[in-house]
Structure 1
Amino acid sequence: MRALQMLGFITTVVAFLSCYSLILPLNQQSASTPNIAMMFMVTPLLGFSALILIPSSIALFNSKVRSYHLFEGRLWLCLWTVNSLFSLAYICLMGYFFYLFVQS
């Protein structure tokens, strides 16, 4: 469980950093390059992170699961808190996309 939480956090951070580095040097000549990279690099990373973080963050709400997987201590609980916020953001984003899909 700790490995899943750490992998999900690292994947999310890599996705955000690559998104930032793709958007930062934007000029007129390479306007389509960031869009293609976002579609084929950043979006799959965020999707993979969501698939990892949402179930494991929900499972860690149970104290028996946390103690079984040795998910104790300040570092691991802070990581779980940050990943729970990422999971909540992913769920809200999926709900928004579902709302847009239903409205169209």
Structure 2
Amino acid sequence: MIRKAFTMKVFADCHEEYQRRHDEIWPQMVEMLREYGAQSYSIFLNAQSNTLFAYLEIEDEERWSKTAETEICQKWWTYMKDVMETNEDHSPVTVELKEVFHLGQR
């Protein structure tokens, strides 16, 4: 299993809307995430800094990288661009984090 972590930024006045959209995530989006190898995916909000911390467990990095090419992912990015920092292609601005410690199960 590959563990990935990254940060994103949500606009200060959009915390509740960001939460609502994820509470109502499209079934097709969930299906695509699982199809491309997501085993676990969590997003946490630091409301003081408007920072989102995402933690993801995937099966294969190459397979996962193809999620960005899917129609449903492109649609989701367009849907989310008004509540968070995005790139020109509407993908979220992300900062990959390097794992420096992991305590696994015994």
What TM-score do you get using the length of structure 2 for normalisation? 0.29
Q: Which has the higher strand share?
A: 2
What TM-score do you get using the length of structure 1 for normalisation? 0.29
Larger Rg, first or second structure (1 or 2): 1
Q: Which has the higher helix share?
A: 1
